[in-house]
Structure 1
């Protein structure tokens, strides 16, 4: 006989094991590439696809019913073609990029525009603290797949460092609402 040493969350108190397994397993084959997950993804140089596994990530799209419900963090896989990346931004929580395949140039930047970059390869990561301007570019000749985690189940939409992008940061959500 097994004894659960911690209580289940309210929403799972009466759930069967089958219901739990069905709702809390996400397969890559069932994910859909969201090429409009972010406002900057409409701009050449920032095109990329988000595959949501747990929660919404920094896109703000909290209504993806195929994703596992987020508790205290989100998890997505990003696909970034050569020559693409994302706009410099911040979050109100920590964000982690963990490279699975390919090479990703990650950067941190200060408010004066000073930027420091490092190239990450497979099984390497960066943890970007809350409030630190950061981002990434794929300057290689191959696509990059990497895992993104945010430290909140429903994080705010990313805070772009660029004023014009920041003003329209929620535009990509209108098509989904």
Structure 2
């Protein structure tokens, strides 16, 4: 339920995120870059923390979704990944991208230009690639305030890393509980 008895200053402090206060986070997905340098890209969070960030106090806290900008340098890509719990939207703000969607065993490529959008329901592997010569910027929206960590194709190096990271996180949580 919305708060109707706050001042406009409190409202603005809580519900407005300005570009000048955003930071490009090249570390949010840096574990992917360790597998392939082409996976280097930045996330700029506005609403919620997205699918991989653990925390960011500089975002608007939402109840039902996340919204960030993804900066893809020329030649960069976001690898195929699967969100089994949420839908995901990629909206191209600047440049062009190639959206990747796996249906069955086939990965399909869909070219998107400025102001084009693709919505992917839960359960489909999806990814993006910047085949252009200039940086591309996309708005990315996920349908949950903190989606589950995405998975990667079975047997891939990224899936192995995800499993290792999940085990390490579980072990750390268990150790913390024993304190």
Match of 2:86 in 1: 93
- Aligned twin of 1:34: 25
2: CA distance, partners of 1:145 / 1:41: 18
| Aligned length in residues | 164
TM-score norm. by structure 1 comes to: 0.84
Match of 2:114 in 1: 122
Out of 145, 149, 159, which is 2:151 matched to? 159
Which one of 45, 52, 55 corresponds to residue 52 of structure 1? 45
Unpaired stretches in structure 1, ≥5 consecutive residues: 1-6
Deviation at 1:150, TM superposition (A): 0.2
Q: Secondary structure at the match of 1:165?
A: helix
Equivalent of 1:138, from 127, 130, 136? 130
Q: CA deviation at 1:78?
A: 0.6
Please give the per-residue CA displacement for 1:122-146, whole angstroms capped at 9, x wherever unaligned.
0101001101011010011111001
Which of 62, 68, 84 aligns to 1:70? It is 62
- Give the alignment partner of residue 24 of structure 1, picking from 15, 21, 26: 15
CA RMSD in angstroms, aligned pairs only: 2.3
CA distance in 2, matches of 1:162, 1:58: 19
> How far apart, in 1, do the equivalents of 2:25 and 2:154 lie?
23
Provide the rounded CA distance (Å) in 1 between the counterparts of 2:50 and 2:59: 11
Aligned partners of 1:41, 1:29: CA distance in 2, in Å? 27
Taking the aligned partners of 2:59 and 2:132, their CA distance within structure 1 comes to 30
Q: Take 1:116 and 1:49, find their aligned partners in 2: how far apart are those partners?
A: 24
